[in-house]
Structure 1
Amino acid sequence: MAMVRGRLLVATSAIQSGPFWRSVVYVLDHDEDGALGVIVNHPLESDVDEVLPEWADCVNAPGCLFEGGPVAMDSALAVGVVSDVTSGPPGWRQMAGRVGLVDLEGPLPEGGELLGLRVFAGYAGWTPGQLEAEIEEGAWLVLPAEEGDLISPVPDRLWSDVLRRQPGETRFWANLPVDPAQN
């Protein structure tokens, strides 16, 4: 099984409820110890300026927190896209390409260092072999990520938008009704 760091996991109809229903997960890390990612299309009601006011001007619209996943939802995880990986801001740790984790305890980035930033409550985690088994069972489509997926101004449309841009029959998943009984 190939590692899927830096790729998207797009939930299939095999996931019928819970936090991963129609989710798009950006995989930040994947190795023999398991996988870590964040759900990039589940905005929450809380705005970043209510929880981390000093970071409010750094996040992309919508300026809210996102439900990153069911693990450690009481903690915040920031993911940033930088303009240049060779000179990322202090506290930025590369995960895949120009995407990395941003230390919320560190200094605020200077203008232009970050192209985008999202703050997530919690994250998605998989134990060794768990993600591979879920992919094999058909719960996830593994698709290429675009940097804009992380900072999409319309996260509610991301599930269908990501599917629609795929080649071949995969794009037809985007037309799947919310309730398959309505088909």
Structure 2
Amino acid sequence: MSYAGYFLIAKPILQDPNFRRTVVFLLAHNAEGAFGLIVNRPAEAEGLPWPVFLGGPCPSPGLIMLHGHAEWVEASEDGTQAEKERQLAPGIYSGDAACLDRATQTEDPAELRFRVFSGYAGWGSGQLESELAAGAWSLTPANGAILFDTPVEELWDRLAPPRIPEPSIN
């Protein structure tokens, strides 16, 4: 089963500093591996009117954009919308340079539903499946309402599965 279009939520047992308390949006998942973006790690970006998120420990050749604006998806040459090709999950679309131009031309970028990432998270063949089997991650279907409407600092707490408190010995 492909988990592309799902949120991958780090469980508390996962202490790797690259992924501790992260939420990863999986863009691709197949027999060759998995590719996703950490969606709850804003980074400092000088000279930009919006934050750039640290998408993961692997360097990306450029910026990667996700957005929640179906109207930003360009029509294909035959006049039909390419929405289905660009939609990664309900209400989440991959963006291109034209989308980034639209975002920068608005008067209040904070009102827009988009995120820009540098870097990505990647797993080799079978690696993510092994981590899931070991209990390091939980999964839930992704959607734009969760990604764009939940404050970044609350995303992991909202999506992390309930935890059983540690027993105390008094």
**TM-score where L is the length of structure 2:** 0.74
In structure 2, the partner of 1:72 is: 59
Q: 1:106 to 1:116 in 2, by over 3 A?
A: closer
Secondary structure at 1:151's aligned position in 2?
helix
Compute the RMSD of aligned alpha carbons.
3.1
Q: 1:88 to 1:105 in 2, by over 3 A?
A: closer
Corresponding residue to 1:89 among 74, 77, 82: 74
Q: List gaps (5 residues or longer) in structure 2.
A: 76-81, 107-111
Take 2:99 and 2:70, find their aligned partners in 1: how far apart are those partners? 19
- The within-5 A match list for 1:129-148 is 129-148=126-145
1:121 to 2:118 alignment: yes
Q: List gaps (5 residues or longer) in structure 1.
A: 57-62, 164-169, 178-183
Per-residue deviation, 1:98:
3.4
- Using CA pairs below 8 Å that are at least 6 residues apart, which structure has the higher relative contact order? 2
Secondary structure at 1:108's aligned position in 2?
helix
Contact 1:46 1:64 in 2 (8 A): yes
Take 1:65 and 1:94, find their aligned partners in 2: how far apart are those partners? 21
Secondary structure at 1:157's aligned position in 2?
helix
Take 1:147 and 1:136, find their aligned partners in 2: how far apart are those partners? 27
Contact 2:70 2:93 in 1 (8 A): no
Take 1:46 and 1:176, find their aligned partners in 2: how far apart are those partners? 38
Q: 1:144 to 1:153 in 2, by over 3 A?
A: closer
CA distances 1:144-179 after superposition (whole Å, capped 9, x unpaired)? 22312322452011100123xxxxxx3x23x879xx
Identical counterparts, % of pairs: 32
**TM-score where L is the length of structure 1:** 0.70
Q: 1:17 to 1:34 in 2, by over 3 A?
A: closer
- The within-5 A match list for 1:28-107 is 28-46=27-45, 50=47, 53=48, 56=49, 63-72=50-59, 75-83=62-70, 88-89=73-74, 93-104=86-97
Take 2:61 and 2:165, find their aligned partners in 1: how far apart are those partners? 33
Secondary structure at 2:156's aligned position in 1?
helix
